[in-house]
Structure 1
Amino acid sequence: MSGLEWVEWKLRNETSCYNMFRMTPDMFYSLHNLLKTEYGLRDTKKSTSIEALGMFLWILGAPQSVRQAEDRFERSLGTVHSMFYRVLKCVIKYADDIIKPRDPEFRTRHRRVMNHRFYPEFEDCIGAIDGSHMPCVVPADKFVQHLCRKGLTTQNVMAACDFDMIFTFVLAGWPGSAHDMRVFDDAMTTWKDDFPHPPEGSHLTVRAVVGKFYVVDSGYANRPGYLAPYKGTMYHIQDFQNVAEPRVACMALHNFIRLSGLNDVDFGLVDENVSYVPPEASFDQPETVDAPDSEDRAQMNEFRDYIAEHLYNRL
């Protein structure tokens, strides 16, 4: 069975398609049409765009190695590489259009923060920011640079998302040895024109005057616009080769599935239960890392105390 025949065979069965490509047949064809009509995905003399997209999703979703793709699709290593990067180039173009806030000015409050569990303490929260260490394979001369605290070679990827689980920003490529705050500072400086900064404001509380803000993990400093947990607080959020683009592509595909309006099993679990936490999120929790000191964090410390006191008084 050729690679194209295998892909078409899987597309005829919804369960098999989801298991192999991490999306339903309807989503697959919708994504294929989008990439063809708007982002330049084309057939070539050696392969169709359907086979190329199937190979791309199969490699990312499992993940699978290039040599496994060579065997499954009966293609040479060179052809596998060419097919993968042909699709990747299109998905990265798509990522520029889809990984961003739908409301860049953050003028509206999301219905989730208006829930009695979070309102009014989190009424001005616009999303969450976290760093995730993603395993990667690197050349010998970059091995030490990419070693994280767990002794694995990783990339430290920072991402922001909104309350609909849509990625609004991603910064990939930093080696695993880099502290979260170093990646964050790079987003605030090098990528300041792309990062969706929280608007400044004058929301008056009993103890502080703050604007819109993200909730961030303990690897970041508690400072205006970025609310970090208390030191030592643990919570459930957890999180190819040595390139950043496949990671960005995965987040673009995530947003595509989320925004498609089509049913997805995993997203459905979250939509049905706001307190749902995937089982894997509780595995291998990272140690709490103290964020570097920040001179301007006193105001957010007061605001954090205000939130903690109000939530405690509800009990």
Structure 2
Amino acid sequence: MRTLRNPTACYNMFRMHPHVFEMLHEQLVTKYGLQSTKRMSSREALGLFLYMVEPPQPIRQAENRFERSMETVSRKFNHVLTCVTNLAKDIIASKDPTFSFVHPKLANHKSAPSFNNAIGALDGTHVKVLVPFSKVGQYINRKSDKTQNVLAICDFDRRFTFVAFGIPGSAHDWTVLQEAIRKYGPNFPHPSPGKFYLVDAGYPNRPGYLAPYRGVKYHQWAWRYGPRSSDRQEVFNKAHSSLRSVIEQSFGILKMKWRMLLEIPSYSERKQAQIILACCGLHNFILENDDDDVDFNVAAAFGVSMVDEDEDAENTREADEVEDDVNMNAVRDEIANVCFFWLKGVVEKTVNYAICDMCCGRNKFVSLLVFVWGLYV
């Protein structure tokens, strides 16, 4: 395929660089049964599949682009989808299932070691769905769209470690989590005692699920404007949000890279579920094998994420109806105190150094700026 010889064209068409395409192809062939036929090579079949899931390309467009019959396009798409789905089942998992190591992002965070027991971030997103008329009612979400909930857990490298799908879009966050726990039973990755996932205010503060303080400024974009954090709850929420934002970034990258998830074509419910799982698997594969992927690097630099303020507010109302756990509230308060006193100590040191420099006549202008900054924080 000529496209693979042009890195820019390859990335624009398949959302991955040529060497990643070749690595993916090799793994699908050797481990997951991707095969060539007389009519189409395995490389072309993989390219066709990626072309169709990057933007939601109808079979007719793929037929024209690859000069193949609609029957061949459909059959090859299904074949590659099965292979990629099987790959996804293997790589959507934690790299450290016993959580024996503290992730560097936690260890190096300015609030360390406050969140060292966090093992990932959990949240949900909506994916549009096509269902039989008899089921439409339960899939209508707050925006009157037909969607299914996708609940995911990711680690602090933005890798998906668990994905649950197929839960009707009318359900809110806490209900979706309870349904996922019921549906997946022993396969649901419950946190071990003392560990927890970071969740947003749409979930109650329960053992294993550390939520922020509700009714207090939270999301990262909210901290870019206006006063800085001033009390324990705000300091905690800011630190919590900075770490939990990995799941919002993961969803943002997933839907930006594989735009079929924004509008899945008219496939069966089973195939729609396979597409979601396959895209999450591709997300992990690229993240693990390409440090220079443009979409991931842009998301890291500019904070690309999927946050719906109105949906957050509605989910928060549902969480308000579920009682928080007293012991988990105590854990949150303890972490908030550590974060607050850490920040207070940094500010006091900054101010003291600035006063000392000004008294000694060193860098008076710079010291004055540092002094004012310390008071402002």
Tell me if the contact between 2:20 and 2:290 (Cα under 8 Å) persists in the aligned partners: no
Letter in structure 2 aligned against 1:47: M
Tell me if the contact between 1:161 and 1:169 (Cα under 8 Å) persists in the aligned partners: yes
Letter in structure 1 aligned against 2:178: D
Tell me the equivalent position of 2:303: 277
Per the TM alignment, residue 296 of structure 1 is displaced from its structure 2 partner at its CA by 6.4
Letter in structure 1 aligned against 2:331: F
- Partners of 2:291 and 2:19 lie apart in 1 by 8
Letter in structure 1 aligned against 2:8: T
- TM-score when normalising by structure 1: 0.85
Secondary structure of 2:166's counterpart equals strand
Tell me if the contact between 2:204 and 2:323 (Cα under 8 Å) persists in the aligned partners: no
Letter in structure 1 aligned against 2:15: R
Query: Quick check: 1:57 aligned with 2:57?
Result: no
Secondary structure of 1:100's counterpart equals coil
Query: Quick check: 1:287 aligned with 2:312?
Result: yes
Deviations 1:92-137 (A, max 9, x none): 1111210001111111110110114231210111100010011223
Query: Quick check: 1:306 aligned with 2:318?
Result: no
State which drifts further: 63-72 or 170-179. Answer: 63-72
Tell me the equivalent position of 2:294: 265
Deviations 1:120-169 (A, max 9, x none): 21011110001001122333333322111111111100000001111100
Secondary structure of 2:81's counterpart equals helix
Q: Larger Cα Rg: Structure 1 or Structure 2?
A: 2
- Partners of 1:77 and 1:181 lie apart in 2 by 42
After superposition, residues 239-250 of structure 1 pair within 5 angstroms as 239=251, 240-241=264-265, 242=269, 243-250=272-279
Q: 1:45 to 1:178 in 2, by over 3 A?
A: farther
Tell me if the contact between 1:143 and 1:153 (Cα under 8 Å) persists in the aligned partners: yes
State which drifts further: 23-32 or 71-80. Answer: 71-80
Q: Which of these residues, 143, 146, 150, is aligned with residue 157 of structure 1? A: 150
Tell me if the contact between 1:214 and 1:225 (Cα under 8 Å) persists in the aligned partners: yes
Secondary structure of 2:112's counterpart equals coil
Secondary structure of 2:9's counterpart equals helix
How high is the sequence identity, in percent, across the aligned residues?
Answer: 46
Tell me the equivalent position of 2:219: 235
- Partners of 2:309 and 2:53 lie apart in 1 by 22
Aligned CA RMSD, in angstroms, stands at 2.2
Higher relative contact order (CA 8 A, sep 6+): 2
Secondary structure of 1:19's counterpart equals helix
Secondary structure of 1:178's counterpart equals coil
Tell me if the contact between 2:201 and 2:312 (Cα under 8 Å) persists in the aligned partners: no
Tell me if the contact between 2:88 and 2:277 (Cα under 8 Å) persists in the aligned partners: yes
Letter in structure 2 aligned against 1:14: P
After superposition, residues 128-139 of structure 1 pair within 5 angstroms as 128-139=121-132
Structure 1, unmatched stretches of 5+, are 1-7, 201-210
Letter in structure 2 aligned against 1:123: N
Tell me the equivalent position of 1:5: none
Per the TM alignment, residue 73 of structure 1 is displaced from its structure 2 partner at its CA by 2.2
Deviations 1:199-228 (A, max 9, x none): 11xxxxxxxxxx111101222221011011
- Partners of 1:48 and 1:95 lie apart in 2 by 22
If each structure's helix is expressed as a fraction of its own residues, which one has the higher value? 2
Q: 1:128 to 1:141 in 2, by over 3 A?
A: same
After superposition, residues 1-315 of structure 1 pair within 5 angstroms as 8-200=1-193, 211-232=194-215, 233-235=217-219, 237=245, 238=248, 239=251, 240-241=264-265, 242=269, 243-269=272-298, 276-278=302-304, 281=306, 286-288=311-313, 289-290=315-316, 291-292=318-319, 293-294=321-322, 297-313=325-341, 314-315=343-344
Per the TM alignment, residue 197 of structure 1 is displaced from its structure 2 partner at its CA by 1.8
- Partners of 1:308 and 1:284 lie apart in 2 by 24
